[in-house]
Amino acid sequence: MPEVPDLEAIRSFFNRHIVGQTVTRVETPIPFLVRVPRDDFVRLLTGDTFGEVHRYGKFLLFSLESGRVLVVNPMLTGRFAYVEPKARKRARTGLILGLANGCEIRYADHLRMGRIYLTTPDQLNTLPQFPDMGPDVLDPALTEDAFKQRLLHHRGQVKGILTNHRFVAGIGNAYSDEILWEARLHPYRKRTQLSEDEMSALYRAVHSVLAWATAIVTEKMRDSIDYAEWRDHLRVHRRGGEPCPRCGATISEITAGQRVTSFCRHCQL
């Protein structure tokens, strides 16, 4: 699932390449991914011009000269590409936007779970999930005090809270493992067991891990976004059986449902 570092890298890439580019062609090979009547979607988007690309949580928001916003929620398996028309298409490519510069923006979705909308800024809160989200995890207004106050309103295990978009928007399974490792917190600790200092450590870990990872992923995607999530830099997630890079103990891995949780039992308490 794309998370903040992946989506920030994609956003940065698009802001370098598509701002000022006009959409000349719209194709929807998998129509139900687009949650707008097809004819309206094609008519309204054709001839419009891209402005800056933004992100909120796990949504990408493509501003348009008309005042509308193209919104993409890639969910688990949504992938973007920016390529020449002759480039081979990924399986289950669901949207193709031809641009005036001769390139194409493509969106492919292996599980066909993602959703694409064309709306206006004042209608964003009518989109599914959007009004339920807490503040974006990188919102400057989410200070340490604000983070702690929000944390106090949630119960349960700390990993479950971190990945709950109602708490903060943008953290998923992979980076919650990395954040908790950095903060030295066991993923199954109850929020009610966290001390004031541990909540502060968690806040600092959120920002340090996301900044560290975003820089790495952005560099990896500097010239191409035709990747799945970039995960080779992760220190604990999906590293079960390997030595912890901090203390050398074996990293544990637990699968519950479809979610893998990776952590060090020795140094995450």
Active-site positions? 2-3, 58, 259
Burial class (CB in 10 A: 0-12, 13-18, 19+), 241: exposed
Name residues whose C-beta falls within 8 Å of residue 161's C-beta, 6 or more positions apart in sequence.
151, 154, 167, 191
DSSP 111: T
- In 65-144, DSSP assigns E strands to 69-73, 78-83, 93-99, 104-109, 115-119
Beta carbons of 263 and 187 less than 8 angstroms apart: yes
Per-residue HEC secondary structure of 29-51 comes to CCHHHECCCHHHHHHHHCCCEEE
Q: Which two tokens stand for residue 2?
A: 């794309």
What does the angle CA 256 – CA 173 – CA 105 come to, to the nearest 5 degrees?
A: 130
